Amino acid sequence: MDGSTAFSFLVLGVWSLAASLAMWWARTTLEDAKLARVLALNVVLLDVMHAGLVAVVVPRSLPGAAVAFATHAAISALLVLPTPQVPSPRPAVGAAVHVVIGSALFLVLLVVAYQGWRALRKRAALVETIHMVGEIRNAQEVFRSETGGYANVSAALAANQSTNHFALYPQAPLRPGRHAFSWGVDCPKSACRLSWLVIPVLADRVVYGYSTVAGVAAAPPPATIVVDGRELTWSPPGQEWFLVTAVGDPMGDGSYTTVVGGSLWPELRIDNP
């Protein structure tokens, strides 16, 4: 779910709750049945819009959502029907129940919107990795054209939930999380064999941490990388090679995403996107 969809859920939820409260106020305080019916029709329309949005975005949750929205709409529709002019506490009770259900639906929609925001934030951070891994790959090729070989910058190849995170730059000796770090800072000797400044990478602040290692022909990469539950395998390269990894936890919940690229294959491999 993208940010605009999450925002739509939030706007519809706020609108529905406001209409519910206004209908209750019109029915119980102003005793204006006509205004209450207009607001009730408004809420019914909002429930239909909610159900349609759920059907498109999260179809697996449609049955439960349909029951909730139908119940809410039915209570709203009851207020549309003419009622006898007999004093009765039932309209107030019905309106109170209506507002309680409307509030519950609003909270559900708020949670859905929050989850959409989290997904949007994670995808935005993932865009950083695609750009940065591409920058590092290009920088490695430039370094090779100038020196005849790739730069073995990192002390180890970092990946997955805990593999060699000490070698991630520029966070080292910390682990990547929700905060951005400046590129171009000094790298501890425990994390880097060479300075990252030896390869021309243009960057400002990054959320993910990066590692890059290089080797000679027939030498295997120095770490096991798992993508979608399977270890990456490769034939012994017939020439010099390099690998780049990006590892990050942009949500700060301990679930790390890994992006892998290099000279051994043209495309990027992503674990836990």
Query: What does the pLDDT look like over 144-198, one tens digit per residue?
Result: 999 999 999 999 999 999 999 999 999 988 889 888 999 999 999 999 999 999 9
Confidence of residue 221 (pLDDT cuts 50, 70, 90): confident
**What residues are paired with 243 via a beta bridge?**
213, 262
Average pLDDT taken over every residue of the chain: 76
Distance CA 51, CA 153 (A): 53
In a domain, 134, yes or no: no
Lowest-pLDDT range of 12-16, 43-47, 235-239, 251-255: 12-16
Pairing label, strands 241-248, 257-262? antiparallel
- Does residue 168 share a domain with residue 103? no
Residue 64, token pair as written in the block:
């439960």
Amino acid at 169: Y
- Does residue 170 share a domain with residue 92? no
Distance CA 14, CA 4 (A): 15
Burial of 149 (0-12, 13-18, 19+ CB in 10 A): middle
Long-range contacts of 265-269 (CB under 8 A, 24+ apart): 265/234, 268/130, 268/133, 269/225, 269/227, 269/232
Calculate the CA 49 to chain-centre distance: 24
- Does residue 264 share a domain with residue 153? yes
- Does residue 95 share a domain with residue 8? yes
In a domain, 142, yes or no: no
Q: Structurally, how many domains does the chain consist of?
A: 2
Residue-wise pLDDT for 18-55, tens only, equals 666 665 555 555 555 666 566 666 666 666 665 565 55
Q: What percent of the chain has pLDDT over 70?
A: 55
Within 8 A by CB and 6+ apart from 62, the residues are: 51, 54, 55
Average pLDDT on 106-123 reads 67
